[in-house]
Structure 1
């Protein structure tokens, strides 16, 4: 049985993004959907998928090689959006799967494109989201391609913790954490054994605590240093 590193309350939700607020002002039809944990939200290469925003729970975008090896390219937390690139490419780049029970808002492609034409602010918001995601993906690529095993795990945990803070999920330095060691390994290109060793080391050094479905941050500064996170106080997240 896989060891779960944490859990997520499906009833929790982060603040709505400017994108959804603009869509509501543009009278775009938004549909609320609930997807059960482990279920596929959409497959890789699905034609013309909707744009979705997660409002509660965690999801994961991934791609799979013909032999079955999986690469998780991004975890989605409440407030995150997926499917924007597909509106221009015509099909989903990666598969999207619910890690926990997920509540999400679906935006159909046709009305979205019309809203973009009519609302310049919406185009700007989408461009900003795409720029942030490109930056995050390049950070992730640098970590998995060039960092040590310990640096990779520290990078992922520190990044997810920071995103959890912005999504309103963190209370008293604790983030509900629904990922298994396999999730972490598939995101970082590490075996489960290696992930387990790195997590144990970070806990022994007093940087984090993983217990009863929670990630407790004990020394965020040192964890960020090990994970080589850049100082982003003045970047696009400001």
Structure 2
């Protein structure tokens, strides 16, 4: 099976065989982690670049009152914290959601890869720009979208991202996120989220149950969300 990180970067920029070989070497020493394992915590000194090869991972922040805000979901092929080494300490934590296989690339090696291989550098910068676009979409949801729009928008995003890496090929796919975790990423209480999910189910747009998302009416879900996939830049990937 192809390395998911390499597959993603190849879709973002042309890669020479020597660059692919360099990435294979850099991610060869991957490690398996159990679910709900903190790869790094807020306040820690920044570590290596984490590369998710299998499983789901999230960024999160815990508020002084103990509540949690999930800031991003990472799927196979995603990397995080390209430039965080410039900071003195982490301002958020990164945790596995499911059992995961994660490779670590030390800062010096990452800098060397990007200096010697322009294809790798371009792909990594494009990936970071897409991550920032996704963050802007989340901020827009939290600030301006109604609750049902916010939930529908996140479901559209997660489905498209999963489909892009081969985790979903049909309107139904495994979504390993509890309602509590979804609520933490949407700025809702679990009770409120449950009401919104029921409303979406009754609308005929989608159904979420037992860890599986079924998009019954994609057009209806897109309409409710006001979803525009532009920020995921899938056209760029297809062009690559």
User: What TM-score comes out, normalization by structure 1 length?
Assistant: 0.86
Tell whether the 8 Å contact from 2:56 to 2:96 is kept in structure 1 after alignment: yes
Between the aligned partners of 1:220 and 1:27, the Cα distance in structure 2 is 37
> What does the per-residue CA deviation read over 1:121-171, in whole Å, with 9 as the maximum and x for residues that have no partner?
222112101110111100110011111110111111111011110121113
Alignment match, 1:156: 154
Which of 145, 148, 158 is the equivalent residue of 1:147?
145
User: Structure 1 regions of 5+ residues with no counterpart?
Assistant: 1-10
> What does the per-residue CA deviation read over 1:50-89, in whole Å, with 9 as the maximum and x for residues that have no partner?
1122121111101122222211110111111112131443
**Number of residue pairs matched by the alignment:** 227
Alignment match, 2:210: 212
Alignment match, 1:173: 171
Which of 22, 26, 29 is the equivalent residue of 1:29?
26
Q: CA deviation at 1:26?
A: 6.0
Tell whether the 8 Å contact from 2:175 to 2:213 is kept in structure 1 after alignment: yes
Stretch of structure 1 that moved more, 177-186 or 212-221: 212-221
Q: CA deviation at 1:94?
A: 2.1
Larger relative contact order (C-alpha < 8 A, sep ≥ 6)? 1
Does 1:18 find its partner at 2:15?
Answer: no
Q: CA deviation at 1:48?
A: 2.9
Tell whether the 8 Å contact from 1:207 to 1:219 is kept in structure 2 after alignment: yes
User: What TM-score comes out, normalization by structure 2 length?
Assistant: 0.85
Does 1:185 find its partner at 2:176?
Answer: no
Tell whether the 8 Å contact from 1:28 to 1:112 is kept in structure 2 after alignment: no
1:72 is paired with a residue whose SS is strand
Stretch of structure 1 that moved more, 47-56 or 224-233: 224-233
Alignment match, 1:4: none
Q: In 2 relative to 1, CA 84–205 (structure 1 residues): closer, same or farther, beyond 3 Å?
A: same
Tell whether the 8 Å contact from 2:197 to 2:207 is kept in structure 1 after alignment: no
Q: In 2 relative to 1, CA 33–19 (structure 1 residues): closer, same or farther, beyond 3 Å?
A: farther
Q: In 2 relative to 1, CA 234–214 (structure 1 residues): closer, same or farther, beyond 3 Å?
A: closer
Q: In 2 relative to 1, CA 115–66 (structure 1 residues): closer, same or farther, beyond 3 Å?
A: same
Between the aligned partners of 1:148 and 1:36, the Cα distance in structure 2 is 35
Alignment match, 1:102: 100
Which of 196, 199, 206 is the equivalent residue of 1:198?
196
Alignment match, 1:41: 39
Between the aligned partners of 2:42 and 2:127, the Cα distance in structure 1 is 21
RMSD, aligned CA? 2.4
User: Structure 2 regions of 5+ residues with no counterpart?
Assistant: none
Q: In 2 relative to 1, CA 65–24 (structure 1 residues): closer, same or farther, beyond 3 Å?
A: farther
Alignment match, 1:67: 65
